[in-house]
Structure 1
Amino acid sequence: MAGALASLKIVEVGEMVSAPYCSKLLADMGAEVVKVERPGIGDRARTRGPFPGDKPNPETSGLFLYLNTNKRSVTLDITKPEGFEMLEKLVARADILIHNVTPPEMDRVGLTYERMCRANPKLIMTSILPFGLTGPYRNYRAEDLTIWCAGGVCVLNGGGPEHPELPPLKTAGHQAGYQGGVHGATATIAAAFAQLRDGAGQHIEVSVQESIASILEMTFEYWPYMKMIATRLGQKPLQPVETMQCKDGYIYLCCIEEHQWRNFVEIMGNPEWAEMEIFKDRLVRALNWDALKPMLEEWVSQQTVLDLYRKAQAKRVPFAPVSTMGDLLDSEHLKARGFFVEIAQPVAGTHKYPGAPLKYARTPWEIRRPAPTLGQHNAEVFGKELGLSDARLDELKRKGVI
């Protein structure tokens, strides 16, 4: 069977993570995606590693290879009139345009929904932007670090209460971009349903800052309920909620409910110190965490991760092993589910990639093609599908349009 979104045709003008991840999610579910890249340069993600053998190559970037499966690549300079005209021709044949061109660049090249609608009145256009299209931050440029901070997460990350001298920290990789991409994909699918119902497209704008702020869990409630400002600094209101080191790795401890704590004390063999008045309940344990933590660390350091996890599991205490990438690759569970998939790419070779975190009973998720080389499909898309002659393509190449 064809993929769930096999009828959708998408044009992506995206770099790095947010827009490419958005369209990748749709492409892996069957949508046809044409990725527009800058001539000679391509998506900036092509410059980011890891690279096989640590040898930089724009065709072998691990980040690019992962984010662009199931897409075709064309090169097009949309800042030039002839290039933008060709973009309009691509959009006229599509259902959806996904991009993360910043608002100042949108203004400069004329990438507006009104103009795109003239090429395709039913178009859905998804704009994934650092701060959205309105507000005082509209024109700000931002990398992942900036948006992660602006979204309110960095203040929760860092060295923790024990190291107040350390600054706030972002998480590894491009997490803000992935969150923007997920929100963009969800909104785009919803708009596609509305398009089927109403026969009309619409413009979707995704603020990556707001995507981050919307996943802050309980932090908004800290002040009205506990008169606390959520931060990585200061005392936690409940304990133990901590990652600690075992003999062979790390484990996350969470036993803030009294029955969970009592069961953990039993696992530890009912040490005498656990009956001390300063550890009598969860609030007092949090107040005296500086005394409790070393005792727990000493005991946990003598355990193995899997043994402690299983003992806690049997007692219904919610501990969790902290998996490394190697642990995930070797996971028997993930192997049984076929999560990692091998993909052969003509330049990068064959490697394992994260696969689908979901299963379709009838319309499969699948990798139909590896990430494209730069401009791999120029002749196919511009020549065969848009009807441009070889002579015209050669002319456009000489002008730097493609």
Structure 2
Amino acid sequence: MVGALSDLKIVELGEMVSAPYCTKLFADLGADVVKIERPRIGDRSRTRGPFPNDDVHPEKSGLFLYLNTNKRGVTLDVATQEGFGIFEDLIADADVLVHNVAPPEMDRIGLNFDRLRRINSALIMTSIAPYGLSGPYRNYRSEDLTLWCAGGVCVLNGGGPDHSEMPPLKTFGHQAGYQGGVHAATATIAAVLARRSGESGQHVEVSVQESIASQLEMTFEYWPYAKMIASRHGQKPVQPAEMMRCKDGYIYLCCIFEHHWRAFVEIMGNPEWADEEIFSDGPKRAQNWDALKIFLEEWVSRQTVLDLYRKAQAKRVPFAPVSTMDDLLNSEHLQARDFFVEIAQPVAGTHKYPGAPVKFSQTPWAVRMPAPTLGQHNAEIFGGWLGMTSARIEALTHKGVI
């Protein structure tokens, strides 16, 4: 089966989420991705859970297994002179390099585009950095928590200035890394298309902070024009636009347009309080949200999620059930679309993973192989791709270079 990107050869020098997720998107569509890990240690994500049956093992990390499907894996210490030379040999025959090496480490080992393009003038090098490769924060190191804070999302997840009991809050997991990865993938494939149109190789730079900040819908407008922070429970220009609890779960209520509000009032049976002057338009409902919220919460709490959702749909009001993980795993719709896939890995065993959110009619997404064990393809890549002898591979392994 030929994938949509089966003609691309990609080298990944990445850890944790951003670079591995970027290359996973390519690998799952057929690209030949060679993942480089540190000898004996491997990608840091190997130490992160969840682990099946709580068996903490570097070959059983759910995070690593998900991020590295369809890749070939080698071990190589690029921080050594000999290791970097082997890395350059790989780059000489690659279309794309994707990495998330921290800028200070890039400087230390000599990982820069000018050096690599002398080896391969057609190379596309994608550098993913917490704050980009320029500016006063260039050399700052960050984890997912600091990047969510720097990108502005944590404050939105808090309660806002009027809710000090709900401080800024990080989204669960490694979502900053995923956002950096998907932005890097989009930019990288654009550079590939530009090269096919006659352009040369180029350096693509991705800031994870800016990837997050670029998605803050309406929040930049709220502050300069209305001096509002559109937090989870903060003031909004128009209400209701909130999640509320029903008898059996949560639902998102959205009535930012007046016809939506009037339809919702009809669904509620036209209660008398809805005709009060303080609720007569969107801005007034926002200004008096504390009062309106009491009425809505009391009514919504007596409804079931699906019943209220269907009534709103019938009147074209954009409400939405809030799915739990159980809802998603057991979703009839997702099962019908074969979203979840089972992957067998020789050490971790067979487990269910999220699949692809895209479908191709001619070059389908497919799981061709599970995530590699540490150094699994050393002989195949160093021997087959670079032509090293078994004796040299053994000697380099003994020295800790591979």
TM-score under structure 1 length normalisation = 0.96
Q: Within the alignment, does 1:81 sit opposite 2:84 as a pair?
A: no
Runs of 4+ in 1 over 6 A off after TM superposition: none
* Structure 1 residue 34 displacement after superposition: 0.3
**Alignment match, 1:214:** 214
Deviations 1:176-219 (A, max 9, x none): 11111111101111111122222621111111111111111212
Q: Within the alignment, does 1:47 sit opposite 2:47 as a pair?
A: yes
* Structure 1 residue 272 displacement after superposition: 2.2
**Alignment match, 1:64:** 64
Q: Distance in 2 between matches of 1:45 and 1:223?
A: 37
Asked if the contact 2:258/2:281 (under 8 Å) is kept, the reply is yes
SS at match of 2:343: strand
Asked if the contact 2:163/2:234 (under 8 Å) is kept, the reply is no
The amino acid that maps onto 1:372 is: P
SS at match of 1:11: strand
Asked if the contact 1:164/1:233 (under 8 Å) is kept, the reply is no
Point out the more displaced range, 69-78 or 219-228: 219-228
**Alignment match, 1:8:** 8
What aligned pairs does 1:322-401 form with structure 2 within 5 A after superposition? 322-401=322-401
Asked if the contact 1:155/1:231 (under 8 Å) is kept, the reply is yes
Q: Within the alignment, does 1:275 sit opposite 2:275 as a pair?
A: yes
SS at match of 2:372: coil
Deviations 1:271-307 (A, max 9, x none): 2222223222222211221111122112111111111
**Alignment match, 1:106:** 106
SS at match of 1:179: helix
Asked if the contact 2:121/2:200 (under 8 Å) is kept, the reply is yes
* Structure 1 residue 161 displacement after superposition: 6.2
* Structure 1 residue 159 displacement after superposition: 3.6
Cα distance, 1:51–1:390 mapped onto 2, change above 3 Å? same
Q: Distance in 2 between matches of 1:248 and 1:161?
A: 30
Asked if the contact 2:159/2:234 (under 8 Å) is kept, the reply is no
* Structure 1 residue 388 displacement after superposition: 1.3
Asked if the contact 2:160/2:229 (under 8 Å) is kept, the reply is no
Q: Within the alignment, does 1:292 sit opposite 2:292 as a pair?
A: yes
**Alignment match, 1:264:** 264
Q: Distance in 2 between matches of 1:188 and 1:226?
A: 37
Point out the more displaced range, 162-171 or 307-316: 162-171
Asked if the contact 2:126/2:188 (under 8 Å) is kept, the reply is yes
SS at match of 2:23: helix
Point out the more displaced range, 150-159 or 139-148: 150-159
Q: Distance in 2 between matches of 1:350 and 1:229?
A: 45
**Alignment match, 2:28:** 28
The amino acid that maps onto 2:238 is: L
* Structure 1 residue 226 displacement after superposition: 2.9
Asked if the contact 2:4/2:364 (under 8 Å) is kept, the reply is yes
* Structure 1 residue 232 displacement after superposition: 5.1
Point out the more displaced range, 97-106 or 199-208: 199-208
Gaps spanning 5+ residues in structure 1: where? none
Q: Within the alignment, does 1:119 sit opposite 2:109 as a pair?
A: no
Corresponding pairs, count? 402
Q: Distance in 2 between matches of 1:305 and 1:387?
A: 62
Q: Distance in 2 between matches of 1:191 and 1:325?
A: 36
Asked if the contact 1:161/1:235 (under 8 Å) is kept, the reply is no
Q: Within the alignment, does 1:313 sit opposite 2:320 as a pair?
A: no
Identical-residue share of aligned pairs (%): 75
Deviations 1:92-142 (A, max 9, x none): 111111000011000101111122122212111000011111111111111
Asked if the contact 2:76/2:83 (under 8 Å) is kept, the reply is yes
Q: Distance in 2 between matches of 1:100 and 1:155?
A: 26
SS at match of 2:197: helix
Q: Distance in 2 between matches of 1:295 and 1:52?
A: 45
SS at match of 1:401: coil
Q: Distance in 2 between matches of 1:376 and 1:296?
A: 58
